[in-house]
Structure 1
Amino acid sequence: MNILLVEDQPLIQQSLIHILESERYQVDAFESAEQALGHITPATDWPLAILDISLPGIDGITLAQRLRAIYPAIGIIMLTMHQDLDKKLQSYEAGADIFLSKPIAAEELIATIGSLTKRLRPSTEAEPDITPILLANRLRFDPVKQKIWLRDGTVEALSLKEAKILNQFRMAKNQQLEYWELLETNQLDFDTKGRKQLEVIMSRLRQKLVRISERMDCLIALRGVGYKLTLELFD
């Protein structure tokens, strides 16, 4: 697997390259988002990206958002040396899947990549088997029992707020909701604190949807607008 690595600190970058190559991953390493974006071609295939959040120029959060737009199924791991909740929430909203703090133990990084890649669908196949994808696109949803199921019986329990949000998505046009609608549903204040509380709820809901559907694009953040659910829910 070919991994995109964007890290501006040379020593950390070399350490990460060594860890990844020792596990036989191929690595395309860059020191800035601009360099990485400049190397994107129609033939470029990065199933997974590891991005430093604090980059010169275009930051890691913006880069994650752009990569998610270009490669909807890409797995994104964000790295930082700071425990900044705001940055973490912004990263998840931009499309990040996992957030890791530096310094990172080699074992933790490899385990994280292994866990994430199990949920990644191949970006290109000559004749893909669409049956698993079709199954993962449709989830049985019970807002009363606060659960979602796949046909094979796989189940995820939801919190009351998560169940209310999914029910609202199901009734919304194009399964798309704006921030104010989600805030109102959860009786959250229309201020910065309320937005942060909502982002935490949406992050946890997205993690559950990703686990059960194995789709990274199951719940898309529409920056400055709201969120869109791409899964089909049925009773």
Structure 2
Amino acid sequence: MDEKNLNIILVEDDLNLGFLLEDFLKSRGVGVTLYRDGEEGLEGFKKNGDFNFCIFDVMLPKMDGFTLAKKVKAVQPEIPVVFLTARAMKEDKMKGYNIGADDYITKPFDEDELWCKIVAISKRSDFIQEESETVYQVGAYEFDYENLSLSLDGNIKRLTTREAEVLRMLCKEKKNVVRREQILTAIWGENDYFAGRSLDVFISKLRKYFSGDPSISIENVVKVGYILHC
């Protein structure tokens, strides 16, 4: 993946640092837009549909970086997020990673180190590439996301929109863990008890739909998420 395709949203309330990072990243040939607080960053993200990488300070005015990241990932679950912070507390790092952060960098930091992390993350992320795949082979089944269908030997099962969304997230990360928080935030728009129970029901339904092929399973990684095996 070519990191030159990056279009970064940078939200940093320290304007000196913000301007320095903006100039540095632009010197590397990538697009960068700087915002000064969480609310401004969220509004800018909503207006500009081209961002494909996030760098958020944690301690932001009006809306903190964690909340901002949750709202951004509710719209684009796979967009990479790097947090910047002056605090090195384990609890903060765990919170960031639970949200789905790709990295967590403690200030002060070296700009070249940040760039190396951005390049590494962009290379392993398929978000920047245009998502064109809508038909997935799941064992003996064919899953057509656009047509909400699951087919086996000519028999077609129509899925609900939400079932298809959950299944697509599992298919895109086949054999890897998809976190519950990521699914809930992206599809339900919230991560609470009731949404969690609803997700459990959807996973149970999907398991039944795949009963025609015993090689397919949806593993429950307790308190973490799910893995589609096939």
Residue 217 to residue 27, structure 1, CA distance change in 2 (3 Å): farther
Pairing 1:19–2:24 present: yes
CA offsets, 1:139-169, max 9 Å, x none? xxxxxxxxxxxxxxxxxxxxxxxxxxxxxxx
2:41 paired residue number? 36
Runs of 4+ in 1 over 3 A off after TM superposition: 40-43, 122-125, 213-217, 222-228
- Which residue of structure 2 aligns with residue 232 of structure 1? 228
Aligned to 2:178: 218
- Counterpart for residue 97 of structure 2: 92
Distance apart, 1:106 and its partner CA: 1.4
8 Å contact from structure 2 (residues 175, 229) kept in 1: no
Contact 2:8 2:31 in 1 (8 A): yes
CA distance in 2, matches of 1:105, 1:113: 13
Taking a change above 3 Å as real, the CA distance of residues 40 and 50 of structure 1, as seen in their structure-2 partners, is closer
Cα pair 1:8 1:32 within 8 Å, conserved: yes
Measure, in 2, the Cα distance between the counterparts of 1:216 and 1:28: 32
1:56-205 aligned within 5 A: 56-122=61-127, 125=130, 128=132
- Structure 2 CA distance for aligned equivalents of residues 79 and 38 of structure 1: 20
Whole-Å Cα distance in 2 between the matches of residues 116 and 130 of structure 1? 24
Give the counterpart letter for 1:8 in structure 2. D
Q: Is the 8 A contact 2:79 2:127 kept in 1?
A: no
Q: Is the 8 A contact 1:73 1:217 kept in 2?
A: no
Please give the alpha-carbon distance, in whole angstroms, between the structure 1 residues aligned to 2:116 and 2:128. 22
Report sequence identity in percent. 27
How far residue 228 of structure 1 moved from its aligned partner, in angstroms, is: 3.3
Query: TM (normalized to structure 2)?
Result: 0.59
The aligned counterpart of 1:45 is: 50
CA deviations over 1:79-108 (Å, ceiling 9, x no partner) = 111111111111112221111111121111
Provide Cα deviations, 1:167-209, integer angstroms capped at 9, x if missing partner: xxxxxxx89xxxxxxxxxxxxxxxxxxxxxxxxxxxxxxxxxx
Letter in 1 for 2:21: L
Contact 1:73 1:123 in 2 (8 A): no
Q: Distance in 1 between matches of 2:133 and 2:86?
A: 41
Query: Are residues 21 and 13 of structure 1, via their aligned partners in 2, closer, same or farther at CA, if it must alter by over 3 Å?
Result: same
Mind listing any 5+ residue stretches in structure 1 that lack a counterpart? Answer: 139-173, 176-212
**Which residues of structure 2 form unaligned runs of 5+?**
1-5, 140-165, 168-172, 185-190, 194-222
Tell me by how many angstroms 1:119 deviates: 1.7
> Offset of 1:39 from its aligned partner?
2.0
1:72–1:217 Cα contact (<8 Å) kept? no
1:218, distance to aligned residue in structure 2 (A): 2.7
* Matched AA of 1:218: V
User: How much has 1:130 moved relative to structure 2?
Assistant: 6.6
Deviation of 1:41 (Å): 3.8
The alpha-carbon deviation at position 18 of structure 1 amounts to: 1.8
- Please report how far the alpha carbon of residue 220 of structure 1 lies from its aligned counterpart in structure 2 after TM superposition: 3.8
| SS of 1:18 mapped into structure 2 | helix
Partner of 2:161: none
